[in-house]
Amino acid sequence: MLRRFFITVIALSAFSIMSVACAGGGGDIEPADSYESLSAALEAAGMKVGEQVENNFLFAGLFTVLEIEMTASGQDILAFEFATEEEAAGQAALVSPDGYGIGLKYINWVDTPQFFLNGKMIVVYDGSQSLVTDTLITAMGERFAGESPDGA
């Protein structure tokens, strides 16, 4: 009887731990239209967001503003915050449908690039972690360029 009780307690504990772990952060993901709201959305999904650093080197000059590079659970994300929604939309129009061309520039991404636009913010994710992609879709809306790494 006591043994059955302990097995039941252990099984329920394991189930509870797995449920919490699979649920991510458990918070509501709000729309992201600034660096701060993007960080909040990633954290609400349960990701650890690292320092936001201005990137003056590798991808400098993709758009008319400097990008901020941030890390979410080890995944690099580039974020561009423009002065107006019109400027962001104008810059987004320069991106080719597959995401490899921006204006006259060709970028040889490491993975499959995914571009998101919401308000005055463009976010680029060149990775394949579904939690990051799903969170960006929830916070930013559907991709406007690039495609899912799984081809969907």
For 79-130, the pLDDT digits (tens) are 999 999 999 999 999 999 999 999 999 999 989 999 999 999 999 999 999 9
**How far, in whole angstroms, is CA 134 from its chain's centroid?**
8
Mean pLDDT along residues 19-30: 53
Lowest mean pLDDT of 21-25, 113-117, 131-135, name the range. 21-25
Of the candidates 33, 115, 109, 43, the one whose C-alpha atom is nearest the C-alpha of residue 73 is 43
Q: In terms of pLDDT, which residue wins out, 24 or 126?
A: 126
The residue extents of the domains of the chain are: 29-146
pLDDT band at 52 (very low <50, low <70, confident <90, very high): confident
Average predicted confidence (pLDDT) for the chain: 81
Residue 19 vs residue 57, higher pLDDT = 57
| DSSP characters over 21-90 | HHTTT-S------SHHHHHHHHHHTTPPB---EEE-STTTTSSSS-EEEEEETTEEEEEEE-SSHHHHHH
Of residues 29 and 15, the one with the higher pLDDT is: 29
The percent of residues in the chain predicted with pLDDT above 90, rounded, is 55
**The two structure tokens encoding residue 11:** 């099984």
Confirm if 124 and 114 have CB atoms less than 8 A apart. yes
Give the pLDDT score at 80.
94
Contacts of 118 (CB under 8 A, 6+ apart): 31, 32, 33, 139, 140, 141
